[in-house]
């Protein structure tokens, strides 16, 4: 579901209500181990629960004083974030890679 590539975590496969809890916890483990970039380029299916996960990861990162970047935000998720008025919360610094 999430693989690590240096300080980048690549989320792959579905990210839906069916697996959101596992995805949240797996991502938190990676954040605690030094990840500063979330790459969503390999997500195959999503719903609004992925937005909740991203916001939780952003909150966790801020609490740890880490600037978390999100890359390859799927268009559908961008639309959902815009509708909810939270798209600015998903933007982070430019990646350092």
Q: Is the dihedral of CA 14, 19, 23, 24 positive or negative?
A: positive
Domain with residue 17: its CATH number is 3.30.750.24
Residue 88 backbone phi and psi in degrees, to 5:
-65, -30
DSSP 8-state secondary structure symbol assigned to residue 94: P
Report the distance separating Cα 82 and Cα 32, nearest Å. 28
Residue of 97, 96, 46, 33 whose CA lies nearest to 73:
46
43 within some domain: yes
- Tens of pLDDT, residues 14-62: 999 999 999 999 999 999 999 999 999 999 999 999 999 999 999 999 9
pTM, to two decimals: 0.88
Tally of domains in the chain = 1
97 within some domain: no
Give the range of the structural domain holding residue 78, as residue numbers without chain letter: 2-90
- Tens of pLDDT, residues 54-85: 999 999 999 999 999 999 999 999 999 999 99
């Amino acid at each position: 579901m999430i693989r690590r590539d240096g300080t980048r975590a690549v989320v792959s496969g579905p990210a839906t209500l069916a697996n959101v809890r596992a995805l949240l916890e797996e991502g938190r483990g990676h954040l605690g181990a030094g990840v500063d970039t979330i790459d969503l380029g390999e997500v195959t299916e999503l719903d609004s629960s992925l937005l909740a996960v991203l916001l939780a990861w952003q909150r966790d990162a801020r609490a740890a004083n880490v600037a978390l970047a999100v890359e390859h935000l799927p268009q559908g998720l961008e639309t959902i974030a815009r509708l909810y008025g939270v798209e600015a919360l998903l933007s982070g610094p430019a990646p350092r890679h």
